[in-house]
Amino acid sequence: MIIFPAIDIKNGKCVRLIKGNFEQMTSYNNSPIEQAEQFFQNGFNNIHIVDLDGALQGKIINYDIVKKIIQKFKLKVQIGGGIRTINDIKKWIKIGADKIVMGTAAVENVDLLQKACSEFENKIAVALDVKDGFLHLSGWNKKTNICTLDFVNKIKNFGVSRIIYTDINKDGTKQGPNIKDTIELSQKIKIPFVISGGVSSLNDIKKIKALNNSNIEGVIVGKSIYDGDISMKDLVKLI
């Protein structure tokens, strides 16, 4: 199972939100580059980066920071936030990003998603940011009436490389991830899933590993690392 330590970038800093609320945002001392270096030095192979400024503004904002991370460390970087066009995707692939995460653009323009999956085989991931069964977009600020299951069924044959399922009600709360809903959805299609939101302890990770569900590819861990609830040395042992 892949463990993705998370770096969310806002105003050039590492931040974490609670339930996607930008008014409940905590900034951390390490710069994104320093944080990536810590993850690399502790033995992680993958990281999940979100350009929160990009997600809010609908365009790539923190390109230079992420580029430095990709070029400086031997890490598989999964990047999302503000990716709206084929050229945006090309920009990240050109500098060596491992996976490109489409969220808002994937939902609002399924033709673009299909084209991207065809053009960039095994490179496109889709972020499903879900609250009470419905998708949210634009940095979680925009609620839709799109049922998560309906959307998944629409894109299941596009060639999406992985789906990142985030329960917004859980994200940043450290109350445990929504394993039940993620499992239920993952069983309906053959696309690998990554669980995100609410991881609070090593036990949460162990529960996910113990599922032995071939469709659960990994888990994203954020706030619990930054707040010291989970040590990186202990977490990396579970890879």
180 pLDDT above the threshold of 80: yes
Q: What is the pLDDT of residue 112?
A: 98
pTM: 0.93
Q: Give me the active site residues, please.
A: 8, 129
75 pLDDT above the threshold of 70: yes
Which conformational region is residue 148 in: left (phi greater than 0), alpha (psi within -120 to 50 degrees), or beta? Answer: alpha
List domains and CATH numbers for the chain: 2-236 (3.20.20.70)
Sign of torsion, CA 206 235 75 78?
positive
| Number of neighbouring beta carbons within 10 Å of residue 177 | 26
Q: Are 79 and 110 in contact (CB under 8 A)?
A: no
Pick 63 or 223 by higher pLDDT: 63
Per residue in 134-168, pLDDT (tens digit) is: 999 876 678 899 999 999 999 999 999 999 999 88
Our measurement of the distance from residue 218's CA atom to the centroid of its chain's CA atoms, rounded to an integer in Å, reads 11
Q: What is the pLDDT of residue 173?
A: 72
Q: Are 188 and 152 in contact (CB under 8 A)?
A: yes
Among residues 134, 125, 91, the alpha carbon closest in space to that of 105 is found at 125
Q: What is the pLDDT of residue 170?
A: 82
Per residue in 16-74, pLDDT (tens digit) is: 776 666 667 677 878 999 999 999 999 999 999 999 999 889 999 999 999 999 999 99
What's the rounded Cα separation, in Å, for the pair 10 and 131? Answer: 22
Per residue in 96-141, pLDDT (tens digit) is: 999 999 999 999 999 999 999 999 999 999 999 998 889 998 766 7
Residue 17: CB partners within 8 Å, gap ≥ 6?
8, 24, 25, 26, 52, 171, 172
pLDDT band for position 218 (50/70/90)?
Answer: very high
